[in-house]
């Protein structure tokens, strides 16, 4: 590679970076995540440009005597700086559940793919894109089947106000259908809302659990919240 990169090579690297990032972004887009197609493409192209600047942007300065620089430091900042975007993709709900970790990890990986593309490591960038798609798309059904059969979820029970709340709560806590880890009681208008943090729930029995709770005369509505 010549010391000064030509325009054609710059265009190829930037276009490839947008393509690689687009592949992973499309997978996130189809699940309607905030960080979707355009976000992943922008991250990958931006990282690619940073790598090009880091590799070739200081060539004229380095040719001067008594100048000692480490251009790789510019590219290194992408690895730590991408954390700000990744953090924005993570959602922490009031129920204590966390979503978006996979998307944040994907953005971090896309940034690395951009750096590799900007450095001319096309095979490494392409192979990483392929592996990332396999992880995001291909492994999910296996994960859902073998590792997420049981989940920690929140059971939201809306009850009428003219009831014995202690009796209803006791019946919910001793239910054989699920195990309650913690609970809270809130008031919404004229109704009372029980939030039950439930552990090791068999996802194949969610409808059965809801129907069982709905049999309580004092219960107006029941639904799950992750």
- The band of 1, judged by pLDDT with boundaries at 50, 70 and 90, is very low
At 158-195, the pLDDT tens digits run 887 766 767 777 777 777 667 777 777 777 777 778 77
* C-alpha radius of gyration, the chain, whole number: 26
Q: What is the mean pLDDT of residues 62-81?
A: 73
At 87-138, the pLDDT tens digits run 776 665 544 455 677 778 888 889 999 999 988 899 999 999 999 888 888 8
Give residue limits of the domains in the chain. 7-145, 150-225
State how far the Cα of 129 lies from the Cα of 143, in Å rounded to an integer.
20
At 8-37, the pLDDT tens digits run 888 999 999 999 988 888 877 776 666 678
Highest mean pLDDT among 34-48, 85-99, 184-198, 208-222: 34-48
**What is the pLDDT at residue 144?**
65
Between residues 1 and 55, which one has the greater pLDDT?
55
- The band of 81, judged by pLDDT with boundaries at 50, 70 and 90, is confident
Please state which of the ranges 73-77, 103-107, 203-207 shows the lowest mean pLDDT.
203-207
State how far the Cα of 50 lies from the Cα of 57, in Å rounded to an integer.
9
**What is the pLDDT at residue 92?**
55
**What is the pLDDT at residue 2?**
44
Closest by Cα among 177, 167, 73 to 115? 73
**What is the pLDDT at residue 84?**
73
CATH topology of domain 150-225: Alpha-Beta Plaits (3.30.70)
At 139-162, the pLDDT tens digits run 777 766 666 555 667 777 888 776
Give the CA distances from residue 194 to residues 133, 152, 160, 161, 168, in Å, rounded to whole numbers and listed in that order.
40, 16, 11, 12, 10
**What is the pLDDT at residue 127?**
93
Give the CA distances from residue 180 to residues 86, 101, 200, 203, 222, in Å, rounded to whole numbers and listed in that order.
32, 26, 10, 15, 15
Q: Flag whether pLDDT at 60 surpasses 70.
A: no
């Amino acid at each position: 590679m010549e010391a000064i990169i030509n325009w054609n090579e710059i265009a190829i690297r930037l276009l490839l970076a947008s393509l690689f990032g687009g592949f992973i972004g499309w997978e996130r887009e189809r699940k309607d995540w905030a960080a979707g197609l355009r976000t992943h493409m922008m991250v990958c192209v931006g990282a690619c440009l940073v790598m090009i600047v880091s590799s070739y942007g200081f060539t004229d300065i380095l040719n001067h005597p008594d100048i000692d620089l480490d251009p790789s430091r510019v590219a290194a900042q992408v690895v730590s700086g991408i954390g700000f975007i990744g953090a924005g993709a993570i959602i922490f709900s009031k129920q204590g559940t966390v979503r978006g970790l996979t998307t944040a990890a994907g953005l971090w990986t896309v940034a690395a793919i951009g750096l590799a593309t900007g450095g001319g490591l096309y095979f490494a960038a392409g192979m990483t894109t392929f592996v990332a798609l396999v992880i995001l798309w291909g492994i999910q059904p296996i994960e859902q089947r073998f590792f997420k059969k049981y989940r920690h979820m929140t059971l939201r029970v809306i009850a009428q106000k003219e009831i014995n709340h202690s009796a209803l709560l006791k019946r919910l806590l001793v239910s054989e259908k699920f195990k309650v880890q913690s609970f809270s009681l809130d008031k919404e208008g004229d109704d009372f809302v029980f939030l039950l943090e439930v552990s090791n729930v068999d996802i194949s029995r969610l409808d059965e659990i809801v129907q069982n709770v709905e049999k309580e005369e004092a219960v107006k509505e029941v639904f799950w919240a992750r």
